[in-house]
Amino acid sequence: MALLINVEHLADRTVHLQGHLTREELDIDPLDKVIEMRQPLDYELHVTRINRSLFITGHLKVVLNCVCVRCLEPFEYTIELTGDLFELPLTGEEAPQIVGECIDLTPYVRENILLEFPAHPVCGPNCRGVPEGWVNRREIGKNRFGSVRDILVKLAALNSYGCNQKENLRVVDNVCGALTIACFIFHS
């Protein structure tokens, strides 16, 4: 269900909107396994018309189910926005489309939430990364190919979360380059 506001109702008052929007209603991609929106977004909005603009204030909250990119452990990440959320001009190039005196606020709420999604979700500031034994940096000089095997195990785990294969190959290239440099330094 779209988040519609009738512009004519805003002529002399502020309109309050409250409810929930699902991932499907917000049109958020369900293919990302590292960041998933399983719970609906809660919203409480106050829409005010001043001259030729709409001012939207209020509260947006959603809890995301994420997988830490360092340790691969699942965790919840809360996005909460409060205060001035966005402004919509009613005229000009940036004006939203008005259909039957109504404006759909859903794309603007979606944009505000997506801008807050973590680029690389990490479970916390004290995340220690991959479990001990997956990659032992002290052993790189002694057994350089054993560490590559461990890295491939980690990449296989990332693939199970639907991570991009091209991205994984880029990571392997970077790691192999770093291992080559490390081996050169250890043997010099």
Judging by DSSP bridges, how do beta strands 53-67 and 41-50 pair with one another? antiparallel
For 141-174, how does the pLDDT look when each residue is reduced to its tens digit (9 = 90+)? 444 445 566 666 666 666 665 555 566 566 655 6
Region of 45 (left: φ > 0; alpha: ψ -120 to 50; beta: rest) is beta
* E runs forming strands in 7-40: 15-21, 35-36
Instruction: Identify which has the larger pLDDT, 164 or 70.
Output: 70
Return d(Cα 148, Cα 157) in angstroms, integer.
Answer: 14
Model pTM above 0.85? no
For 13-41, how does the pLDDT look when each residue is reduced to its tens digit (9 = 90+)? 889 999 999 999 999 887 677 899 999 99
pLDDT for residue 139: 47
What is the domain partition of the chain in residue ranges?
4-114, 137-187
Average pLDDT along the chain: 80
At 44 the three-state DSSP class reads strand
